[in-house]
Structure 1
Amino acid sequence: MGVMDHHTEDHDRGLAFDLATLGRRRLLTLMGGAGLAALTGCGTDHTGHNMSASTTTTAGTVAQSQGAAAASDCGTETPQETGGPYPADGTNGPNVLTESGIVRSDIRSSFGSSTTTAKGVALTVELTIVDTAQSCAAIPGTAVYLWHCDINGNYSMYGKGIENENYLRGVQESDPQGKVKFTTIFPAAYSGRWPHIHFEIYPSLSEATKAGEPLKTTQLALPKDVCTTVYGTEGYSQSVRNLAQTSLERDNVFGDGYETQLATVSGDVTAGYAATLAVRV
């Protein structure tokens, strides 16, 4: 099977990006702010006493300073990235999110009219969704839609001969620790891109499964040493050449900085690999 003709995955950093980010931050504030207000109360300090007007400014300044320090300690927000040309979320052709069966942790096989299983080295992906505005507190109840290419560099629902497949796509709801976990296969390296995994974060499972507006669309990068090892195994021969022709620094998505998107990966080709990443929203 030939590799798909992948389009350049440009990403906007202008006004549209800023407005989208403001919208996501507002929604997160509404999600988390109500609980925070209930805990702190209005116009009271941590002892429960009412604050006088003369101390409001000072207390507010201290709170802002502490909040800034907490945000700094928490780390940089994971950047918004393109969903690419093959999202299957209704924005570019097919929409898998509204199909029964999309909510699943094991995404190796197609569901519905096909049960084809994607071949490749086993990989689990665990994402922890945290709120930078709340000192990286875990965000439970969000939904993550995750997808990536197969061993040949092709995407289900788009690639020639696999238009009716929907493997390597799935949705999970974050648990009380803000975690989601997917069982999948290690994606190929296709021409022009560093090995990566796409995902979208939605405010709830219901929003995800009706293809609502995501809080964030971004990508996970895979480490070079692990990619090199995996691509030395059967089925990944095309990836060896493609990996050698690019780098994280030259990638059109990760080239402007990948520190918050580079997964930590452990394991081996026999037992499979486990990738973990904290996603800061």
Structure 2
Amino acid sequence: MHEHDHEHDDGGLAQDLKLLRASMERRALLRFALGASLLPLIGCGGADTSGDGTTGDGTCSRIPTETAGPYPGDGSNGPNVLTETGIVRSDIRTSVGSASGTAAGIPLTVTLTLVNASGTCEPLQGYAIYLWHCDREGRYSLYSSGVTSQNYLRGVQETDANGQVTFTTIFPACYSGRWPHIHFEIYPALASATKAGNKIATSQLALPKASCDEVYATTGYSASVSNLKQVSLSSDNVFSDGADTQLATVTGNTTDGYVAKLNVPIAV
């Protein structure tokens, strides 16, 4: 018998059981550590495992190109809010310039993380993102009856060192025929975010049903309840071909507000 075997002979069965438990705990810990080390290798899409839009394996799927819709406000279809003084901002709940008005609704913070789908999913700093969506009643500022003199729920920001922009806004309505969503366009720099012709990508963010159900049960969103019942992600004319990379991760509640996060891989 080897010398180190004698170290445990004196304790008898009790000592043997103690050692066996310790050995099992070490193995369990090893399995946990190994599993944790593999997590960053799982997927990319909408899952941000590092907080900066990367997933660890150096690949990510380019976000689909989607229509800007009929109410972009970027000069391609009528008014151009991108030339308004004050449009570069994080809080988009109020109108800017000569317009005055504030959109009511449940608070929503939207963080988009722009990454390079052509590289290793590295953050893209110094790009500009223009974001817009409808209000609590399903109306688009600049276009819809009753809010043509408003330009709220529209704003532009420059991506930081993490490729991120964060907007403070309100939870959009569900209007007839469309799943609840948020539009955004990407420009190569803040200086070029002045007209649609300079954009390099356009897409949309989808909001999860559970959060929509919670919000639409509150005052002011009553029309959204029936509208949401008549549409699904699979029937929506934008998201029906698959919304995995466009479905935001949303947390929060109707009292404190919600936070929506989405990774946005583009080819540059």
TM-score category, normalised to shorter length: 0.7 to 0.9
Between the two proteins, what is the percent identity of the paired residues? 61
1:221-250, CA deviations, whole angstroms, 9 ceiling, x for partnerless residues? 000000000000000000000000000000
- TM-score after normalising by structure 1: 0.74
Match runs of 1:88-107 below 5 Å: 88-107=73-92
Q: If the length of structure 2 is used for normalisation, what is the TM-score?
A: 0.77
Deviating beyond 4 angstroms after TM superposition, the runs of 4 or more aligned structure 1 residues are 70-73
Matched residue, 1:159: 144
Deviations 1:84-123 (A, max 9, x none): 0000000000000011111000000001123311000000
* 1:123 aligned partner: 108
Cα distance in 2 between the residues matched to 1:265 and 1:112: 31
| Aligned AA (1:218) | S
Cα shift at 1:75: 2.4
1:263 corresponds, among 242, 245, 248, to: 248
| Candidates 207, 224, 232, aligned match of 1:239 | 224
Q: Which of the numbers 193, 201, 204 marks the counterpart of 1:208?
A: 193
Is 2:206 the counterpart of 1:221? yes
Corresponding residue for residue 14 of structure 1: none
**Residues 1:110 and 2:95 aligned together:** yes
Matches within 5 A, 1:1-281: 74-281=59-266
**2:133 touches 2:153 (CA, 8 Å); kept in 1?**
yes
CA contact (8 A) 2:74 2:194 kept: no
Aligned length: 212
**Is contact 2:92–2:152 with CA below 8 Å preserved after alignment?**
yes
Asked if structure 1 preserves the Cα contact closer than 8 Å seen for 2:75 and 2:195, the reply is no
1:76: how far off?
1.3
RMSD of equivalent CA atoms: 1.4
Structure 1 residue runs of 5 or longer lacking an equivalent are 1-69
Matched residue of 2:204: which SS?
strand
Question: Which residue of structure 2 aligns with residue 51 of structure 1?
Answer: none
